[in-house]
């Protein structure tokens, strides 16, 4: 699958460092095709010396189609299982304390554009909302303005990446091997699912849209399904299932794995992004099922991206993409899901 540009969710080829120069264009209109014109009135557009068409600066921060939002209650956007990224376009956004923004069903992400300021005093969450879907290498692409010397402008494509293959899942086996927890590779990646306690209940790797699923507990516990599918099943009495989409079944006397994996959240804010002391942004995984003879693995944490153009202020709020806990208790607990990653970046769009 070709690379996907999150700005408009259409297929495109990614260029990591393309140079652009302003040129006069007497035929320029009001950016009707979003194809590189940088001003509504001036007859100017950006010309790429590598012949790659640029995207208009007017579209980096969304369309503003949903207007200004100052919440009076929680919002749950209607989604269907595993649909494409759900997108909202605001001119300004204030999420007040005690209110939550989330989606109704797991999907490939929640992308919120704000063409003004964004203030989060409530909770934005994609915890347990990661999609059951094959991942694909994806980018949020933006264009920054630099200079050669003091006068000559240079325009460069930069990007924030979402890796198609996330961190690997935990491996079942000896506790001493230290590999039962799902892996956490770092920036750009989601977390892997934890392994179930036993010898066969391997967790699955995360994807660009979701943390991985957890494996089932017990000597014959099953591996988690790939691409954030179902958690692995427990095998034998008092074994837990792994967390996933859905949770893996338990053995007799055990507990099934939790349903869900950590999902994807992207904010793209033209003004200042402010996270208040009551604010929280979460994309956490889910706990594996308990079982005294072998707990199930937790699912992996997701991915959070906050891009801002003018300022970023955190007054004590929390941002988390943690993996879910392994089920059960030591020494027979399942592995924890791996942590996902969080990117906060000033993008300086011209």
Tell me the C-alpha distance between 161 and 175, whole Å. Answer: 34
- Quote the pLDDT of residue 62: 78
Best CA proximity match to 303, nearest among 131, 181, 78, 171: 131
Q: Kindly state the DSSP code that residue 83 receives in the 8-state scheme.
A: B
Q: Would you tell me how many other CB atoms lie within 10 Å of the CB of residue 149? A: 6
Q: Which residues of the chain have pLDDT under 70?
A: 1-59, 139, 141-158, 174-178, 349-350
- pLDDT per position as a tens digit, 10-34: 323 333 334 444 444 445 544 433 4
The pLDDT, as a whole number, for residue 31 is 41
Structure confidence at residue 27 (pLDDT): 54
Rounded CA separation 159/343 (Å): 12
Residue ranges of the domains in the chain?
62-137+163-350
Q: What pLDDT, on the 0 to 100 scale, is given for residue 147?
A: 53
Does 331 sit behind a cis peptide bond, omega within 30 degrees of 0 on the bond before it?
yes
Report whether 164 contacts 188 (CB < 8 A): no
pTM of the model: 0.83
């Amino acid at each position: 699958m070709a690379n996907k540009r999150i700005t408009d969710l259409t297929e495109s080829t990614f260029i990591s460092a393309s140079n652009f120069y302003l040129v006069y264009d007497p035929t320029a209109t009001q950016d009707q095709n979003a194809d590189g014109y940088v001003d509504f009135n001036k007859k100017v557009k950006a010309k790429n010396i590598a012949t790659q068409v640029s995207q208009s600066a007017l579209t980096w921060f969304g369309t503003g189609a949903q207007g200004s939002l100052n919440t009076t209650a929680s919002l749950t956007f209607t989604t269907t299982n595993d649909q494409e990224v759900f997108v909202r376009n605001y001119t300004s956004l204030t999420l007040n304390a005690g209110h939550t923004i989330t989606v109704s069903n797991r999907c490939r992400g929640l992308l919120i554009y704000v063409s003004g300021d964004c203030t989060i005093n409530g909770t934005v969450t994609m915890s347990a909302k990661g999609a059951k879907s094959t991942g694909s290498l994806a980018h949020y692409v933006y264009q920054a303005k630099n200079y050669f010397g003091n006068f000559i402008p240079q325009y460069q494509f930069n990007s924030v990446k979402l890796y198609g293959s996330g961190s690997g899942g935990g491996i079942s086996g000896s506790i001493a091997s230290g590999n039962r927890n799902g892996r956490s590779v770092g920036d750009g990646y989601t977390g892997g699912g934890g392994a179930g306690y036993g010898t066969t209940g391997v967790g699955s790797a995360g994807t660009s849209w979701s943390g991985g699923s957890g494996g089932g507990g017990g000597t014959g516990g099953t591996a988690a399904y790939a691409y954030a599918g179902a958690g692995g099943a427990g095998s034998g009495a008092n074994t837990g299932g792994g967390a996933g989409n859905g949770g893996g079944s338990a053995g007799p006397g055990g507990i099934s794995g939790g349903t869900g994996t950590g999902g994807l959240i992207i904010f793209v804010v033209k003004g200042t992004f402010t996270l208040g002391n009551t604010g929280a942004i979460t994309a956490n995984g889910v706990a594996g099922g308990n079982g005294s003879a072998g707990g199930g693995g937790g699912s992996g944490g997701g991915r959070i991206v906050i891009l801002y153009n003018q300022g970023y202020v955190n007054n004590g709020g929390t941002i988390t993409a943690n993996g879910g806990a392994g089920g059960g208790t030591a020494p027979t607990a399942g592995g924890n899901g791996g942590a996902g990653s969080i990117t906060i970046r000033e993008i300086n769009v011209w």
